[in-house]
Structure 1
Amino acid sequence: MSRFKMPTAYTILFSLIIVVAVATYLVPAGQYDYQDDVPVAGTYHAVEQNPQGAGDVVLAAFNGFYDAVDVCLFILMVGGFLGVVMKTGAVDAGVSNVIKKLGGREKWLIPILMVLFGLGGTSYGMWEETMAFYPLLIPIFLAAGYDAVVGISVILLGAGAGVICSTVNPFATGIAAGFAGVSLGEGILLRIVQWVVFEGAAIWYVMAYAAKVKKNPELSVVGRGHEVLHTKAGEAPELTGKRKGILVLFMLTFLVMIYGVIPFSDMGLPLPELGWWFPELSGLFLVSAILIGLIDRMEESAIAEEFVTGSADLLGVAFIIGISRGITVLMNEGRITDTVLHWGEDALTGTGSLAFILLVFLLYLPLSVLIPSSSGLATLSIPIVAPLGKFAEVSGALVITAFQSASGLVNIITPTAAVVMGALALGRVSYDRWVKYVWKLIVLFVLLTMAFLAVGALLGM
């Protein structure tokens, strides 16, 4: 008998679309009354069923693309940018030089980079933006003797641990705090301690796995089938002055990207705010690609050809993002999103403080699978859940901590998260291999979160 082979990310996502479509026939349709696009607690009512048929299933992915076109274009621009950069040989030369200088101390890249990504995650919700870093860092860790899972983990788990423990993240904590009627600073001490613990646990987990794989490559969850991406020091091009200049512009592009998306005013920092998002970031990578091509003295036709080729390399990732967004679109069209939320409202009513906050966390786990957007989930649910906490003597700040912990936790493993599926596609790691690798850390995060929430409820934080 042939062994079971895990289906591709596309099949997994289309299967979920079909499951959601079937659910629109079985789950009662309903809606809340909305005021300024925010649901009003206690106003849920039944509405006419709008089941999604075969045609809607086919169109779901296309509607998802329309909904996520800005993210998809950003991914293609990053691919084109990297295509031009890689043609210059600057990255290969730079990676070879870094590995040579580290001289066996490559393992320290793991905690350093994870802390940096963790700071981005906890401060401004660095998540979709991390997609630009996978094609850059995965080859570096492969060249250092690790597997693709290590490269993915440094970014995904580093930023993910930060997002789970969002301290001042305006896209999760900030939006939720506004709807809960509390300040961004309430509950921040608990979240800071939580971030230190979670980031430390993630770093320990990744470093332990990385050391095991480097010592015995056969223990890798994906095997050693990625050597084609390795940068061999003997074959690497020379790090010339021109290539150094390209690398400076290369890194400056990423720094500008990070600065451009940070909402300094929402974080209370007196710095000029650019307010960029995916359209502006796409333009940034396009302009940088052209400048790097000119510095390398490429012909106009060569720049265009390498840019298109690089974009094509990430086309599969753009497909995955669009398809995954189609799941949420189908739920909304089937009018079952508010029904699921209403079930949670019924389950939470009349519980004590400890039971309430733990139930809130457990409720948000499946909700985060169905609605991967933290800002979207906050907008839909916090206006309903936060007022219920008052009856259970649970602060709005603790409700927010439960919400963002569940949302961030689910988003590092769920197949409905575009970043997870996109990162795995870039690293050529199948979804089942990722689950096999990360499930123990997920269990640890769940237990730690419940412990933090229990302490917060008992201390009235």
Structure 2
Amino acid sequence: MNSVFDFSNIIRKKFKKGGEEMKERTEEMEMQQPQPEKKRRFHMPHIYVILFIFTALAAIATYIVPAGTFEEIPGPEGRTTIDPDSYQQIASDPIGIVDFMLAVPNGLVAAAEVVFFTFVIGGMFMVLRRTGIIEVAVDRLTRKFSNKSLAVVPVLMFVFAFICSLIGTQELSLVYVPVILPLMIALKYDSVTAAAIALIATTAGFTAGFLNPINTGLGQQVADVPLYSGLGLRIALFLTLAVIGGLWVIRYARKVKQRPEMSLTYEEDEEKRSLYLHTGDTKTYNFHKRQKIASAFIFIFFGILVYGVLAQGWFMLEMAGLFIIMGIVVGMVAGLTPTQVCDGFNEGFRDVLVGAMIVGVARAVAVVMEEGQIMDTIVHGLGTAVSGMPVVLSAVGMFVIQFLFNFLVPSGSGQALVTMPIMAPLSDLLGVTRQTSVLAYQLGDGLGNIIFPTSGYFMATLALAGVPWHKWVKFYFPLLLIWMGIAIIFLAGAQMFQWNG
């Protein structure tokens, strides 16, 4: 009986071995067969490559576009603006090899404020993370909003939009993102949601800017329009942009929560999820005594920040200085040693290094055009292009021109001082009210601030959130088209009714 059993085992093994050999021979034959070539998928180049190409094109343009200049004259509030009737061509001075080589270093110098602020923000929030305060706060907020997490999105967005419409500081996105990012991850959203809450909200507020001194106030002063007039239409624009922007972010956030793999930054967020997403974690995080005292100091410092921005006109340098002190004080009060505080700053600096460098590299595009003296020629040419449009489309044409020019000068006040001295008198010739020309400038400047990689604060905000630029474009571009449609409707209406508010 045993011999029969042994014989059957031998047969079974032989068949198994033979089958395996046959499988191996089949696989070898398949390997020898010519494989169909896989189609190469397009991969977005690195942002450095994109910006280098833009800088190179700007340098080439200095050999093609005639050099020209406007005469500078004193403007509102001690600023320098241009005389729109003073444009003249000058001797061409194209960018040479050495000038091109220095474009990025000079860009970093020109954008030093934003670069430094980005480093400081990254360092300060890493120190706060090392104290454990952020982890405890996120845990408590997560438990509090676990059943109504989606409601957090519109509430935060309305607050950020309203603040920006009053004070016009889109750069506060750099402060908002590190604060809300851990919460968004803990609530099972992603980095894009956190970046969108800050960027979409502040852009809606800044663009409408019903009491915004940076774009509305300065634009109206340059155009010689009564300060903060036309309030009703701008409030309607604010509500329209904010509501549609909020719905867009809510739609995306809901999709990510239901299907996390649909997140545009699913892979990038893996480390953040391990830090902040405690799925099924029953552990309760509590503040110890020193953390409670340190948390009180955080609120004190943010109170000082609000006072400084609103009452003292603080901007990036002042805020950066405050955040350095805040990181040191809060860290040591919470129990960190001086060395641990320094290590926290260093780690934060490393995390935002790429984003800070991008800001400087992006600035190189404008540096090349300014040194090649073609910026004023481009402004003059854009103004001439608008003057050739039909009357009905003139206001819309102004908006398109301002939007495109925002790629070169992504500063709201800078764009107002360069373009409005030309667009305001031009609007008189075209039959467009000056109030409408200011609105066209606001819309073109605002909507372009969070799409063009030459916008320093925008790229720095993406770096703090850990969102690649091309993935942000994929998220924002459809909303941009919707917002541009709204802009055209408002401008066409203003033109039809000769709005002068």
| Alignment TM-score, normalising by the size of structure 1 | 0.93
Matched-pair contact (CA < 8 Å) for 2:389–2:397: no
- Matched position secondary structure for 1:369: coil
Displacement after TM superposition at 1:456 (Å): 1.0
CA change 1:340–1:180 in 2 (3 A) is same
Deviations 1:78-109 (A, max 9, x none): 22211211111000110011001112211111
2:270 aligned with 1:232, yes or no?
no
In structure 2, the partner of 1:145 is 188
Q: CA separation in 2, counterparts of 1:139 and 1:7?
A: 29
Q: CA separation in 2, counterparts of 1:75 and 1:220?
A: 25
In structure 2, the partner of 1:96 is 139
Any unmatched runs of 5+ in structure 1? 263-272
CA change 1:149–1:180 in 2 (3 A) is same
Structure 1 window deviating more from structure 2 (291-300 vs 21-30): it is: 291-300
2:292 aligned with 1:254, yes or no?
no
2:261 aligned with 1:218, yes or no?
yes
2:204 aligned with 1:161, yes or no?
yes
How many residues are matched?
451
In structure 2, the partner of 1:269 is none
In structure 2, the partner of 1:243 is 291
CA change 1:255–1:329 in 2 (3 A) is farther
Q: CA separation in 2, counterparts of 1:251 and 1:5?
A: 44
2:227 aligned with 1:184, yes or no?
yes
Matched-pair contact (CA < 8 Å) for 1:153–1:206: yes
Kindly provide the amino acid, as one letter, of the partner of residue 280 in structure 1.
E
Matched-pair contact (CA < 8 Å) for 2:131–2:335: no
- Matched position secondary structure for 1:133: helix
2:376 aligned with 1:331, yes or no?
no
Displacement after TM superposition at 1:390 (Å): 1.4
2:103 aligned with 1:65, yes or no?
no
- Matched position secondary structure for 2:354: helix
2:160 aligned with 1:117, yes or no?
yes
Kindly provide the amino acid, as one letter, of the partner of residue 232 in structure 1.
L
Displacement after TM superposition at 1:353 (Å): 4.5
Displacement after TM superposition at 1:278 (Å): 2.0
2:252 aligned with 1:209, yes or no?
yes
2:46 aligned with 1:8, yes or no?
yes
Displacement after TM superposition at 1:237 (Å): 4.4
Structure 1 window deviating more from structure 2 (396-405 vs 9-18): it is: 9-18
CA RMSD of aligned residues (A): 1.8
Kindly provide the amino acid, as one letter, of the partner of residue 416 in structure 1.
T
Kindly provide the amino acid, as one letter, of the partner of residue 245 in structure 1.
I
Matched-pair contact (CA < 8 Å) for 2:146–2:187: no
- Matched position secondary structure for 1:35: strand
Of residues 130, 148, 173, the one that matches 2:173 is 130
Kindly provide the amino acid, as one letter, of the partner of residue 412 in structure 1.
I
Matched-pair contact (CA < 8 Å) for 1:92–1:236: no
CA change 1:276–1:428 in 2 (3 A) is closer
Q: CA separation in 2, counterparts of 1:125 and 1:163?
A: 5
CA change 1:83–1:428 in 2 (3 A) is closer
In structure 2, the partner of 1:266 is none
Matched-pair contact (CA < 8 Å) for 2:111–2:456: no
Q: CA separation in 1, counterparts of 2:390 and 2:232?
A: 24
Kindly provide the amino acid, as one letter, of the partner of residue 489 in structure 2.
A
1:60-459 aligned within 5 A: 60-230=103-273, 231-233=276-278, 234=281, 237-262=285-310, 273-349=311-387, 353-459=391-497
CA change 1:106–1:436 in 2 (3 A) is same
Matched-pair contact (CA < 8 Å) for 2:69–2:88: yes
Matched-pair contact (CA < 8 Å) for 1:75–1:132: no
Displacement after TM superposition at 1:401 (Å): 0.7
Displacement after TM superposition at 1:203 (Å): 0.4
Matched-pair contact (CA < 8 Å) for 1:321–1:418: yes
Structure 1 window deviating more from structure 2 (174-183 vs 1-10): it is: 1-10
Q: CA separation in 2, counterparts of 1:329 and 1:257?
A: 31
CA change 1:173–1:6 in 2 (3 A) is same
- Matched position secondary structure for 1:38: strand
- Matched position secondary structure for 1:155: helix
Displacement after TM superposition at 1:176 (Å): 1.2
Structure 1 window deviating more from structure 2 (107-116 vs 418-427): it is: 418-427
CA change 1:45–1:394 in 2 (3 A) is same
Deviations 1:409-440 (A, max 9, x none): 01111111123322222333222221211111
- Matched position secondary structure for 1:390: helix
Deviations 1:261-311 (A, max 9, x none): 23xxxxxxxxxx212222221111111111112211222222222223222
In structure 2, the partner of 1:53 is 96
In structure 1, the partner of 2:31 is none
Q: CA separation in 2, counterparts of 1:43 and 1:424?
A: 40
Matched-pair contact (CA < 8 Å) for 2:214–2:412: yes
Displacement after TM superposition at 1:351 (Å): 5.1
* Bigger Rg, structure 1 or 2: 2
Q: CA separation in 2, counterparts of 1:118 and 1:400?
A: 20
Kindly provide the amino acid, as one letter, of the partner of residue 259 in structure 1.
Y
Displacement after TM superposition at 1:254 (Å): 3.3
